Structure 1
Amino acid sequence: MASRNTSIFLLGLLLSCVAMSGAVRTLQEEAVPSKDDEHKPELPLLPEDELPPFPEVHLPPKPELPKVELPSFPEVHLPPKPELPTFPEVHLPAKPEFPKVELPPKPEMPAIPEFHFPEPEAKP
């Protein structure tokens, strides 16, 4: 299973490298000016088009809507709620007391040995 995951990862990595190298090659080709571009005459700048000013629009005032009164809801007389039956009382036995268990003392973790790199010798 691990080799399958590894092979899929490596295949994806290879495909991403191929895509990146193609993109870099395209960018490099666009960055290098060709010989034909050097001899082209410069195009004159075209004047920018200006739009005419937007005409002001005057809207008529909003009409006042008449106030609408909603009809009142009729009173509804519901029957009284039925009383729920009471649940019988249940007497459960008392919880049994479990014996207290004493665990052995926790072992101490061994200390990690310290490692010191040797000092490099001075070269003459």
Structure 2
Amino acid sequence: MIIMLSLDVCLAARYLLDTPAAPPPALGLPTIPSLPKATLPPLPSVPTLPTTTLPPLPTLPTQPTLPKSTLPPLPSTQVPTLPTMPTVPKVTLPPLPATPLPTIPTTIPSIPNIPTTIPTIPFFSPPPSN
């Protein structure tokens, strides 16, 4: 789809290059006559509105207060003690085996040489001409 569009664009560009240049315009642009300036009538003034006085808001009635309630005292019972947790025996791990760490090479190995010529394979070569 994209190839077809690019071919169309290439053909259109080629046709544009093959067309002769357009001749210069024969006449200049006509001048536009100036219009007379329109005068607008003045805007009417906004009449002043009479100020109104609002009646006072009614006062809210007072809320009756609720009697203060007292809570009964908490019973003075002893909190039972928690049972003691048994202790977990201490476990010791066996020592790790003493295996040496692998050594890290300090030099980069050299890259092997790659031949630049491709060897010919006999059954891929063309047959001899007679």
| TM-score bucket of the superposed structures, by smaller chain | 0.3 to 0.5
Q: State which structure, 1 or 2, has the greater radius of gyration over its C-alpha atoms.
A: 2
Q: TM-score, normalization: structure 1?
A: 0.36
Q: TM-score, normalization: structure 2?
A: 0.35
